[in-house]
Amino acid sequence: MKTLIISENDDNGLKKAAATLREGGLVAFPTETVYGLGANALMPDAAKKIYAAKGRPSDNPLIVHLSCVQDVEKVCYACDTYYRLAESFIPGPLTVIMPKRDIIPFEVTGGLDTVGIRIPSNITANKLIRYAKVPIAAPSSNLSGKPSTTKASHVVADLYGKIDVIIDGGESEIGLESTIVTIEGKNDLRLLRPGGITPEQLKERGFNVKIDKAVLEKLSDFERPAAPGMKYRHYAPCAQVTLFDGDEEIVKRKLQEYKSVDSAVILCYYEDEELSRLPNSYVIGSKTDDLDTAHRLFSVLRDIDEDDKIKNVYAALPCAKGIGLAIFNRLIKAAGYRVIKL
Ligand code: AMP
Ligand code: MG
């Protein structure tokens, strides 16, 4: 298949891409979180094409993207709590799980009778959905199991030749996927996946937030995660990632032990000067700026993937506060939960 690459500034191109979506094609587009791979959420066959292009397991549901809150009732049964969340956080990087209406096929929801709804704030994403005039089912536009895509070149690497259009909108602003919540009571939320909106921000607005177990640790083979996607080894580069948990200085010394191992790289922060000047270290951001780390993490993991010689990646277990919770979650998943206590 020939994949057309267009700029987000090409309005005619966006209109054509929207028509491609409406007619059942696949279009990768920028959002404020990561790049998404969109399909018409009302067409079962279009949804199936997403699973085929990504190699995604068919029980891993797709998030449905809309352009405005007014459209939410058309695809699901929304409650007051949703609209209160929307006042503070929507449009933006928040996905809310709600009971689906019949118009959304089970092919989109992986057989579930609920649907995840997100309204992106990214202008291009929002415009594309508006032009398409249909809800857009869109997971992240990476091959299943690979780190998510935060620039158009990542999408080209994973999906060129498999989808109709890639819209280039530069680097994703946040760089990590949306926060996913389910509503469990008037003010009660369960966090299924941490992301751009932090539990602290939700609490500030008067919501109680329970963190789902699957966010923090590996579930046993008998436990089913509330977000089916959380059970898959996600966000992972080809090399084995190992995380060290313990006193900062001890962890730093441990990481230095790998400085001359050809097949190993170390992830560190700008501030870790002894580590960041090593030839085999990758800076993932600043210790005082989690947003910067979120923004760079997937891109660094993808850069590491490009070097076949790298067999091991070592890093400190990050602090799970604020956006740090999302970074912690993505790293423990990238590591396949391989965390060594020092
Ligand atoms: P992705 O779009 O690739 O970021 O993945 C979407 C994530 O949303 C996966 O982890 C899914 O399990 C989760 N998700 C989507 N819809 C639902 C739903 N109805 N219930 C629970 N989790 C969902
Ligand atoms: Mg994904």
Alpha carbon of 110 to ligand 2 centroid (Å): 14
Q: Which residues form the pocket of ligand 1, taking CB atoms under 6 Å from any ligand atom? A: 60-61, 63, 97, 109, 112, 114-116, 139-140, 177, 180, 192-193, 226-230
Q: Which residues surround ligand 2, an ion (CB under 5 A)?
A: 140
Ligand 1 atom at minimal distance to the Cα of residue 56: 3
Please report the DSSP string for 181-192 in residue order: EEEEETTEEEEE
Amino acid at 130: R
Residues 247-266: tens digit of each pLDDT:
999 999 999 999 989 899 99
**Tokens 């008998």 map to which residue?**
222
The least confident of 45-54, 128-137, 219-228 is 219-228
For residue range 94-128, list pLDDT tens digits in order: 999 999 999 999 999 999 999 999 999 999 999 99
- Whether the per-residue pLDDT at 233 is higher than 70: the answer is no
pLDDT digits (tens, 9 = 90+) for 121-148: 999 999 999 999 999 999 999 999 899 9
Determine which residue's CA is closest to atom 20 belonging to ligand 1: 227
Sequence-ordered alpha helix ranges (H) in the chain: 11-22, 44-54, 72-75, 80-89, 106-109, 123-132, 152-159, 199-204, 213-216, 248-256, 273-276, 290-305, 324-334
Does 34 have pLDDT greater than 70? yes
Ligand 1 mean position, distance from CA 110 (Å) = 9
Q: At what angle do helices 123-132 and 11-22 cross, to 10 degrees?
A: 50
pTM of the model: 0.96
Using CA atoms, how far residue 312 sits from 251, 265, 308, 330, in Å, is 16, 6, 11, 17
For residue 227, the ligand closest to its alpha carbon is 1
Tokens of 335: 């590591």
Domains in the chain, ordered, with CATH? 4-216 (3.90.870.10), 240-341 (3.40.50.11030)
Q: Mutate which of 191, 193, 234 to test ligand 1's pocket (most atoms within 8 Å of Cβ)?
A: 193
Per-residue pLDDT at 227 = 79
Q: Is the dihedral of CA 326, 330, 331, 337 positive or negative?
A: positive
pLDDT at 186 over 70: yes
CB atoms within 10 A of CB 52: 11
First-last CA distance in the chain: 50
Task: Report the percent of the chain where pLDDT is more than 70.
Answer: 99
Q: Is the pLDDT of residue 226 over 90?
A: no
Q: How many A from CA of 62 to the centre of ligand 1?
A: 6
Q: Distances from the Cα of 55 to the Cαs of 115, 267, 276, 314, in angstroms? A: 21, 28, 36, 28
Q: Which residue has the higher pLDDT, 223 or 312?
A: 312
Cα–Cα distance measured from residue 191 to residue 179, given in angstroms and rounded to the nearest whole number: 7
Beta strands 179-185 and 94-99: pairing type?
Answer: parallel
Q: How far is the CA of 30 from the centre of ligand 2 (A)?
A: 14
Report the pLDDT averaged over residues 318-332. Answer: 94
- Chain mean pLDDT for the chain: 95
φ, ψ of residue 234 to 5 degrees: the values are: -115, 170
Confidence category of residue 231, pLDDT binned at 50, 70, 90: low
pLDDT of 175 higher than 70: yes
Q: Which residues contact 214 (CB under 8 A, 6 or more apart)?
A: 192, 223, 225, 226, 227, 230, 231
